Structure 1
């Protein structure tokens, strides 16, 4: 017997294991590990992944696989193994691990249909439902619902005349375009050419073209390049000289762009010292983790490019991870200019079809380098020579929903398998990575100076409390306003950074102090001026701004806080002559808008670029000489032990946008807490001192890198249920762990209610707890029945980055 072990698309504890299926004779060559299959499971058909083949099963009666969904595996043997590792590492279901590795187009979509029972005829059905099956033996479930026929159909189904089925619908839509090619050999074409009438100019041009280029060509491109009509093509198709066929083409997000090939740059002596150990690791096929610690503008990207060049010369492949927000057109451009069509790009700005096509280029080995955001770490390469993670400190490398993996951990695991180096690059490394480099777990490589000998920008801190005392109620300090005017006069550009989106943070009544909250979450609503509405960024609730206070009926409704739209308005009042480009989630939502805005700024269409986090990374424009940070304290007061670290990193990164070329740069940081060490040391760009000071705080409070963390979050529609279950879990955990472990909880989450679900949590700090994973699994096992049948949800994060 040929039997396949299949992991089915049902993310639940009971189904988190391989199920045995018979392989039909006609599919035995196709069905191999890593292929997706359509299998019967209970009353319906669902998608599954083949994880292994065998000849015997412990079960006597086996169902057969309905059909394969692929001709070649979508998961190679290494990725199947990685799925096992990810399941153990993050306590996720196996199906969740496999699906995380694939583009959305390959995830199953299920379609609910009604079918006539095998022995039933159309005339057996009541008249009012027959029209649903008019097209044959199937009917659409949605149509029956829309027409209010479900009750009738329920009775019909009870008589055994109709069945409800779920069909696996493949989401993949390959793009096909009409192509034209010759169907006869050159001698026949030549004789046809001689027989053409003198006025058949278009047909003459066509035959001349195909005598020179016999390969298929896309119809629209052919008509455009030869300036002929479709009638000429149709004429030759009718005569049997040319043939038409629909061929698959890739959706290329960069097809309209031209990239000029650029050669490698001359390395500085510091860059040579830094790249040397990486190259020797590549040459020796040796796994090693490097931390490339270089100030902003020190030339880290060139080290990445030349390391990849070495890998390609050995016939190997490379993965480069870049945080989503800094996957700027500039970054893509540098890789495309160096490696041309060998580069695939994966990020959220692409359509599902474009992502699928980029993924297939990798799978078909048509490209050698992938540049992408977090999920690109699962690129199906089989001969990896290097993995690079740029801006390794970025929290976006951690996935916050199942499977809760960190791309850095996956990179190191894949690096071990492929015996290749992993390079982590940053001007502000995460404390964990820097501590590992200090201990020798990672190899530290340093680039202490900017590449072109340019000094780091001069940074000035402005105490906004002092500005208020002097009567300045504007959101711009007098120093920043002065410098903005100066840059306008000189024709130089400015970047203004605000760590928020929207117009105002919240809406409040000035008479009674009532703040308008989301009705579903314990969080204030954010005001967005361009739509004149308030929005919850957790559950999506939207509402219009009330004319009067809902509590006291006062008309004194005021908008508090500072959002990008509000800053833009203030700029227009203070500096009406300034041309401003605003970049935030609202203005870059449409496809390609991010690139258009940056290109406009680069071409000098604006004097000021105003934006949120997305402008903090990767910008390298020669004319930027001033960076203004409007509110440095925003992140500092969040209930997050990493808030000081994130503040320091962000301020340092933003400051690094100024003065990267010939013109010197200046930075003005506005703050209400200039004495805080993260702001003060970001001002002097002193990472080493910040690291030492922050490490003291982490040690005292028992946080990473001195302790590991695990976070258990319980959510339920009933408050008391959430509290009591969290209490039971906390007691159980305490009984299983050693005295050294610190258990905080049960306590309400910093945002205690989201989408009408109450959230309680338990935080575990520990150094070494061999029993922890088995205890966490026991909790999931114990509550899985309740989770399936009620509104209880339990999530576990073995390396939490966000404690909200």
Structure 2
């Protein structure tokens, strides 16, 4: 593995250096260093590539031996940006090797704001000279008075017209001056008074502060029941990181839905943190990247891509809701941000804290193996109790025909609303209905680009694919048999549950929370405000309502279809369902009033329902481990998937077949497939999958490299490698 590279280049300026380009290439290219140009490992440079000018980074291997410098094209310029630090360069190389990605493709994620590499624009203003020959009119006196209080100032801030300012400059009373760069982010105050911690919270916070102060790599699982105050506790560790003069990174699974978290941060530290997510404007993205690189963003809160920001002195990484699958990137470079956060912390000699009420089995296995330590918050904060949970057997108390809410759930909502409390209905399915079919011929409305049914969105009067985005109007006739008005919606989505709730509870003020109508931070903040201010009686939502909200007046949660996540053959289906439903249940009864949770299920005897019913997640985890360990399924074995895709069905199937024939054969390794993927077509591309399963002690990356080298893959076919897959679609 490359080491920090000050010794790679001799003191004498090198004649040639390797430059890594943000392209899916095998490695760095060598470039000549023009005389007098100073470069070092990590320098951001502009180099020629064919007819183009490309940004790149001077990398960490010696230039190729034996290649005459005269044959090398020269570096064009060195950009005025802080060099990429050794820890980040090592991280890029490590992620590339682990995920079998091109180093340049990984490095591109660390260059996600190219405009930040340019010199910041200089802004000019005015300052008083203390001299000049002009007459001091009342308007000029106001300008001089303003500059005496604060200088320099931009012209638009001075209390005079442009003509007055020009006249003062001509008279020599004021002169141009460079305005100082205002800090983009306020510095959070670690001594700002925060909420009081319980005795248990204080003990856990002290242990976390000690890890931060040690300036050493460690990984800690912070496990606490929903509502136990995990956020307030780990913010104490952030405060210690600030006292140490280092930077802190907090990863959240859905940064756009984190308005309440940001409010807690502001209450604790007196200002907002820096943010990093896909909805930032280019200007804010540029300023944030530059501030991070210069150490001027002490705390950054972001989505998974924030791992690749250029922190010069990263002192703490928090991964909140570490079990969330949103931390897995499925496109481009395929990686899991939770696991890569641990690696980034190791290269930065910093502690990493994984936070969850329902940790992933991978994290639990690492705790049991002694690789991670664990700290626990076993009770809710402030005297609140965990909600009572009941499973409603839909076989015994079914909903009315054509409806989806069972009588006991309807009665519980009526009682809750009558007490002036809030209720929530949860269904992890967007839209009005997941399937539309013809009553006459049975034709099902399917996406033309994917192996998926089109979801009806009745409010917009459209059918939409949730995989590729294809949308079309709801047709008046069946496209197969031409029958008129024969299309009917099958099954419920949140829009349909909202429609039923409007009939059952006409006086209740309702709010639907789904990604269709909560598209970003502003909408999420407004929805949270309305619920907190009791402008809403009944919340109807998808999985976004499960993510850390604190609604003190919400006392009832009804899960419309608790069995939904258990369908299919996904290895982690039961684990994910427990995590999601436990999080949803945790929204109820977070203040003085007790909470109640009702799970509608056709399988009350299922281990998932029993674990939730008894609050015994530990027993469920033990049963899951017992099922996975004997056959070496994760976390007791390794998985890697090959996903073969192409527009030509025959050619794609041939490559999949060839890979199957070339699969490695050795003890402790099993290859499953090839087989058509469950989503056999996605975005117009045919898809096949192979799955390599290996015992825990076997390194899968060398096996995968040898395997892929045995098969020639045409340019029209793509083979995506997914090490440690989360999705099996």
Task: Tell me the TM-score normalized by structure 2.
Answer: 0.90
Task: Please tell me whether the aligned partners of residues 506 and 527 of structure 1 are also in contact (alpha carbons under 8 angstroms).
Answer: yes
What's the counterpart of residue 4 of structure 1? Answer: 17
Shift of 1:649: 0.4
What's the counterpart of residue 162 of structure 1? Answer: none
Shift of 1:338: 2.7
- Classify 1:670/1:33 alpha carbon distance in 2 versus 1 (closer, same or farther; 3 Å): same
- Classify 1:241/1:681 alpha carbon distance in 2 versus 1 (closer, same or farther; 3 Å): farther
Residue from 412, 417, 423 that aligns with 1:494: 423
What's the counterpart of residue 4 of structure 2? Answer: none
- Classify 1:423/1:52 alpha carbon distance in 2 versus 1 (closer, same or farther; 3 Å): closer
- Classify 1:346/1:281 alpha carbon distance in 2 versus 1 (closer, same or farther; 3 Å): same
Deviation readout 1:659-700 (Å, 9 max, x if unpaired): 112222222222232222112312333211111122223235
Residue from 590, 593, 600 that aligns with 1:670: 600
What's the counterpart of residue 48 of structure 2? Answer: 40
Deviates more, 1:666-675 or 1:386-395: 666-675
Task: Please tell me whether the aligned partners of residues 316 and 384 of structure 1 are also in contact (alpha carbons under 8 angstroms).
Answer: yes
Residue from 176, 181, 187 that aligns with 2:126: 181
What's the counterpart of residue 151 of structure 2? Answer: 214
Give me the whole-angstrom Cα distance separating, in 1, the residues matched to 2:26 and 2:45. 17
Give me the whole-angstrom Cα distance separating, in 2, the residues matched to 1:235 and 1:591. 47
What's the counterpart of residue 58 of structure 1? Answer: 66
Shift of 1:260: 13
Deviation readout 1:200-219 (Å, 9 max, x if unpaired): 4xx43332222111233583
What's the counterpart of residue 6 of structure 2? Answer: none
User: Does residue 664 of structure 2 align to residue 741 of structure 1?
Assistant: no
Deviation readout 1:608-664 (Å, 9 max, x if unpaired): 222221121121122222222222222111431111111100111111112112222
What's the counterpart of residue 683 of structure 1? Answer: 613
Deviation readout 1:372-393 (Å, 9 max, x if unpaired): 1112222322323222111111
SS in 2 for 1:196: coil
Task: Please tell me whether the aligned partners of residues 261 and 339 of structure 1 are also in contact (alpha carbons under 8 angstroms).
Answer: yes
**Unaligned runs of at least 5 residues, structure 2:** 1-13
Residue from 437, 440, 455 that aligns with 1:508: 437
What's the counterpart of residue 562 of structure 1? Answer: 492
Task: Please tell me whether the aligned partners of residues 636 and 696 of structure 2 are also in contact (alpha carbons under 8 angstroms).
Answer: no
Residue from 70, 73, 79 that aligns with 2:79: 70
Task: Please tell me whether the aligned partners of residues 293 and 446 of structure 1 are also in contact (alpha carbons under 8 angstroms).
Answer: yes
Deviation readout 1:341-366 (Å, 9 max, x if unpaired): 58322123322332232222111111
What's the counterpart of residue 97 of structure 1? Answer: 106
Deviation readout 1:19-51 (Å, 9 max, x if unpaired): 11112235x12x332233332223433332211
What's the counterpart of residue 727 of structure 2? Answer: 802
User: Does residue 88 of structure 2 align to residue 79 of structure 1?
Assistant: yes
Alignment of 1:136-155 (within 5 A): none
Q: CA RMSD in A?
A: 3.0
SS in 1 for 2:663: helix
Give me the whole-angstrom Cα distance separating, in 2, the residues matched to 1:638 and 1:177. 58
Alignment of 1:20-419 (within 5 A): 20-25=30-35, 28-29=37-38, 31-52=39-60, 57-60=65-68, 61-68=70-77, 70-73=79-82, 75-103=84-112, 105-106=113-114, 180-182=125-127, 184-185=128-129, 187-188=130-131, 195-197=135-137, 200=139, 203-217=140-154, 219=156, 222=157, 233=165, 236=168, 239=171, 241-242=173-174, 262-324=192-254, 327-340=257-270, 343-419=273-349
Alignment of 1:578-657 (within 5 A): 578-589=508-519, 592-657=522-587
Deviates more, 1:452-461 or 1:350-359: 350-359
What's the counterpart of residue 407 of structure 2? Answer: 478
Alignment of 1:419-434 (within 5 A): 419-434=349-364
Give me the whole-angstrom Cα distance separating, in 2, the residues matched to 1:249 and 1:479. 62
SS in 2 for 1:531: coil
User: Does residue 687 of structure 2 align to residue 759 of structure 1?
Assistant: yes
Deviation readout 1:378-424 (Å, 9 max, x if unpaired): 23223232221111111111211232222222222232233332211
Task: Please tell me whether the aligned partners of residues 716 and 792 of structure 1 are also in contact (alpha carbons under 8 angstroms).
Answer: yes
Deviates more, 1:281-290 or 1:454-463: 281-290
Task: Please tell me whether the aligned partners of residues 20 and 56 of structure 2 are also in contact (alpha carbons under 8 angstroms).
Answer: yes
User: Does residue 657 of structure 2 align to residue 732 of structure 1?
Assistant: no
Shift of 1:441: 2.2
Task: Please tell me whether the aligned partners of residues 299 and 451 of structure 1 are also in contact (alpha carbons under 8 angstroms).
Answer: yes
- Classify 1:188/1:623 alpha carbon distance in 2 versus 1 (closer, same or farther; 3 Å): farther
Shift of 1:760: 1.0
Residue from 392, 395, 420 that aligns with 1:465: 395
User: Does residue 635 of structure 2 align to residue 705 of structure 1?
Assistant: yes
Aligned length: 713
What's the counterpart of residue 464 of structure 2? Answer: 535
Give me the whole-angstrom Cα distance separating, in 2, the residues matched to 1:93 and 1:732. 23
SS in 1 for 2:227: coil
Give me the whole-angstrom Cα distance separating, in 1, the residues matched to 2:205 and 2:521. 37
The structure with the largest helix share of the pair is 1
Task: Please tell me whether the aligned partners of residues 423 and 555 of structure 2 are also in contact (alpha carbons under 8 angstroms).
Answer: yes
SS in 1 for 2:566: coil
SS in 1 for 2:459: helix
Task: Please tell me whether the aligned partners of residues 625 and 665 of structure 1 are also in contact (alpha carbons under 8 angstroms).
Answer: yes
SS in 2 for 1:311: helix
- Classify 1:171/1:525 alpha carbon distance in 2 versus 1 (closer, same or farther; 3 Å): farther
SS in 1 for 2:71: coil
Which structure has the larger Rg over C-alpha atoms?
1
Task: Please tell me whether the aligned partners of residues 174 and 248 of structure 1 are also in contact (alpha carbons under 8 angstroms).
Answer: no
Task: Tell me the TM-score normalized by structure 1.
Answer: 0.82
